[in-house]
Amino acid sequence: MDDGYITTRGTGDETHQHVPEKGPHDAEAHLTTNQGVRVSDNQNQLKSGPRGPVLLEDFVLREKIFHFDHERIPERIVHARGSAAHGFFEVYESLADLTKADLFQRPGEKTPVFTRFSTVAGGAGSVDTPRDVRGFAVKFYTQQGNWDLVGNNIPVFFIQDAMKFPDLVHSVKMEADRGYPQSASAHDTFWDFISLMPESTHMIMWAMSDRTIPRSLRTIEGFGVHTFRLVNAEGKSTFVKFHWKPKQGVASTIWDEAVKIAGADPDFQRRDLFEAIQRGDFPEWELGIQAFDQAFADSFEFDVLDPTKIIPEEVIPVRPIGRMVLDRWPDNFFAETEQAAYCPGNIVPGVDFTNDPLLQGRLFSYLDTQKSRLGTSNFHQIPVNAPKCPVMNFQRDGMMQMLQPKGRANYEPNSLAETAGEIGGPRECPVTGFHTHEAADRDDEQGDKLRLRPESFADHYSQARLFFRSLDPAEQAHLASALVFELSKVAIEAVRTRMLSNLVNVDPDLAKRVGEGLNMPVPNASQSAVPVQDLPPSPALRIINGPRAPSDLKGHAIGILVADGSDAKAVDRLKAAIAKAGAVAKVIAPKIGGAKGADGTLIPADGQLAGTPSVTVGAIALVLSEDGCAALLKEAAAVQFVMDAFGHLKAIGASDAAKPLLDKAGVEPDDGVTDLGADFLAAAVKRFWDREPKVRTLA
């Protein structure tokens, strides 16, 4: 008997678990159909005789198979691969001077949220770690209704006008005739499109940077991308850009590391988010804003409604206004994460749109998409999408209607309450209802109906140059190398040449480095509609040596490699020190059952060596005896474990007896190679970029 059930065997030796015949027979213990009918046998179809045909009247079978056949709904065209969690948003101070939005009025008030992170290009079954943009979507369940802040981990986008979105996505998805590559931009059609779209140049700098190979979903920034507006109770409008800043710091992988993680654990980032929440190491972000008025917008070098541009933090600092904590994993992945429906058009009083042409297109697209994916205009009634405030209107019926409105008043105005004493239903409210900001921002917002872009959107290279020149030299090398890698997958030479021409406008040295990596001459710069500006660098854009680089070990995972003969007490001391630093220790041994310590005690293992490569942890410690090291010298997985950690610029702590393994793995002494003392934990906080030229050739 297991968990109160009786386990028996059927005539075909199949396992049956059933409620005891003598018992309370509580409803919760009984398996039922979707109609609530209790099931007597969940192992066998209803047949005409033991070996006869299955009978059509078996409604239990038909319902079970019917539901299974329809378990998969159409996946998202983009952002299909996602992971999400519940949490809360806590506002720091009243923002009543900027907005009348209820969630920003009372310091310390917490608003429930559901946040989904995703890749963009790949399908739902793709891996977590490709070079790709990450979606960052937050649903705020406010007392005034749901507000969806739907953005990315990059503050700009590929295109300026939503008309081009289908073309962008078609180009980056699997090529139409061959059905590959999955979840990758390194192919002809994407770069053909990008090379013909100068407006995409700034985004390509970000996409080829380390931002698109993040270490963890917990270490990505988030951006609203567009310029929105906040409106206060007096009707005053303020432009705003939204920023999510991770408390864990911003961190990325190295390309070789990202590739190996994909092979070792396709679910690496989803698992990392899940495990962090399960152990109480709740991911946290600060929400910040860049707020500015029309005068600043008119004075800025670029059009603030252009989604391919940023306002550097050095120009307008990001003001922290609250924090988001994710503290609960969904109870069911499909019901919540997969069915979550985000719409940029979901806003609340006090938040409003601007005339950003990409944003305006998204306001139409997302709502239409939810009907296609979730099969009903009532998708908002699915619990994860349902507001946590009263919903009162006259919308009725439709597929999968869950509500049961009373009375016959399904229209307004009506007089049924006054004339017939019936339920009359809700009514509009000019005082507290949503009002679209009415004032025009500029004199040119009225005029003829035209299909054109403003001239203020025409500078496509200056901010791309700003981004590249703001990066740390190591990041610049990674970006150039990413361009070499991606363009080397492009078979059409004219596309590679065109892309190099565009890169000359960004930075001639960058174009030269990429050209050398491709063994191609660098052509003249492509034509630019306006002169390219040399803007002041923005150090805030850096990951390496940037203002939000991780400063401690909190949330990191440290791998401890052991073998038979390891010092169990040394392992315990190291684990305690790692825990004190706020990190997680993962003991890795040749066998999952652990290793036998020098004192004869068992050292339990959290992972088996062949299945837990060093790409899954942030630093490694080798606690080995001479005999244990000698045994690992014959293990290719052990040599690769150390070799990869060194090649991925991670800290390596080692006992004296582990030196032969270091030597065989090609480890050369530097500041990141230490003993097992305090120096190791200090080194484990960072990567050692000075080592990189010794281990790989970069553009």
Last residue of a domain, one of 347, 381, 415: 381
Classify each residue of 501-522 as buried b or exposed e, where b means 16 or more C-beta atoms within 10 Å of its C-beta: bbbbbbbeebbbbbbebbeeeb
Stretch 536-548: mean pLDDT: 95
Residue 496 lies in a domain: no
CB atoms within 10 A of CB 295: 8
Q: Do residue 101 and residue 22 come from a single domain? A: no
Q: Domain check: are 6 and 95 in the same one?
A: no
2 pLDDT more than 60: no
φ/ψ (deg, to 5) at 483 = -65, -40
Residue, of 445 and 688, whose pLDDT is higher:
688
Residue 75 lies in a domain: no
Q: What is the DSSP letter of 38?
A: B
Whether 159 and 13 map to the same domain: the answer is no
Q: Which of 355, 315, 247, 316 is nearest to 582 (CA)?
A: 247
What share of the chain in percent tops pLDDT 70? 99
- Asked if 159 and 298 sit in the same domain, the reply is yes
pLDDT at 624: 98
Q: What is the dihedral of CA 525, 526, 531, 535, to 10 degrees?
A: -60
Helix axes 188-195, 493-506, angle to 10 degrees: 40
Name which of 40-44, 197-201, 217-221, 222-226 the model is least confident about. 40-44
In our burial notation (b when 16+ CB lie closer than 10 A, e otherwise), range 180-192 reads ebebbbbbebbbb
Q: Are residues 153 and 279 in the same domain?
A: yes
- 146, 152, 153, 378: which is the annotated catalytic residue? 152
List of residues 6+ apart from 168 with CB closer than 8 A? 158, 159, 193
Examine residue 181 and say whether the peptide bond preceding it is cis (omega within 30 degrees of 0). Answer: yes
Active-site residue, from 18, 42, 70, 79: 79
Residue 97 shares a structural domain with residue 27: no
Domain boundary among 381, 412, 432: 381
Domain boundary pick from 329, 361, 381? 381
Look up residue 658 and give its two tokens.
């582990």
Taking the C-alpha atoms of 90, 155, 217 and 383 in order, what is their torsion angle to the nearest 10 degrees?
Answer: 60
Compute CA distances 197 → 131, 308, 499, 567, whole Å.
Answer: 20, 12, 10, 60
The Cα–Cα gap between 241 and 316 comes to 10
Tell me which of 54-58, 263-267, 605-609 is least confident: 54-58
Kindly list the distances between the CA atom of residue 101 and the CA atoms of 93, 343, 433, 588, 618, in Å, as whole numbers in the listed order: 13, 18, 11, 50, 41
Q: What is the pLDDT of residues 258-288, one digit of tens each?
A: 999 999 999 999 999 999 999 999 999 999 9
Task: Give the residue numbers spanning the domain of 33.
Answer: 1-42
At 186-210, the pLDDT tens digits run: 999 999 999 999 999 999 999 999 9
Is residue 521 within 8 A of residue 184, CB to CB? The reply is no
- DSSP structure string for 236-267: -EEEEEEEEEETT---B--HHHHHHHHHH-TT
Q: Which of 209, 207, 203, 195 is nearest to 497 (CA)?
A: 195
Residues 240 and 143 placed together within one structural domain of the fold: yes
Tell me if residue 641 falls in helix, strand or coil: helix
Lowest mean pLDDT among 59-63, 105-109, 507-511: 59-63
Pair (250, 165) in one structural domain:
yes
The owner of tokens 């929105």 is: 228
| CATH number of the domain residue 355 falls in | 2.40.180.10
Q: Are 2 and 106 found together in one domain?
A: no
Residue 364: inside a domain: yes
| Residue 143 sits in the same domain as residue 263 | yes
**Is residue 71 pLDDT above 90, yes or no?**
no
**Residue 218 and residue 252: Cα distance in Å, rounded?**
11
The verdict on residue 429 lying in a domain is: no
pLDDT at 172 over 90: yes
Query: How many C-alpha atoms does 256 have within 13 Å on its Cβ side?
Result: 14
Asked if pLDDT for residue 644 goes beyond 70, the answer is yes
Distance CA 641, CA 151 (A): 37
Looking at the structure, do residues 121 and 224 belong to the same domain, yes or no? Answer: yes
Task: Count Cβ atoms below 10 Å from residue 263 Cβ, excluding itself.
Answer: 11
Tokens matching residue 132:
């790709």
Residue 591 has pLDDT above 60, yes or no: yes
Q: State residue 4's pLDDT score.
A: 78
Q: How confident is the model at residue 117 (pLDDT cuts 50, 70, 90)?
A: very high
d(CA 233, CA 236): 7
- pLDDT band at residue 444 under the 50/70/90 scheme: low
> pLDDT (tens digit, 9 = 90+) per residue, 372-416?
899 888 889 999 999 998 888 888 888 888 889 899 988 888 888
Summarize the confidence of residues 511-531 as an average pLDDT. 97
Q: What is the CATH number of the domain that holds 586?
A: 3.40.50.880
C-alpha 350/C-alpha 318 separation (Å) is 20
Distance CA 129, CA 212 (A): 9
Q: pTM to 2 decimals?
A: 0.92
Indicate the pLDDT class of residue 1, thresholds 50, 70 and 90. Answer: very low
Domain count for the chain, please give it. 3
Among this protein's residues, is 79 annotated catalytic? yes
Annotation says 152 is catalytic = yes
What are the tens digits of pLDDT across the range 281-333?
A: 999 999 999 999 999 999 999 999 999 999 999 999 999 999 999 999 999 99
| Residue 515 located in a structural domain | no
Instruction: Let me know if residue 597 belongs to a domain.
Output: yes
In a domain, 519, yes or no: no
The answer to the question of residue 151 being in a domain is yes
572 & 666 share domain: yes
Q: How far is CA 314 from the centre of its chain?
A: 26
pLDDT > 70? residue 508: yes
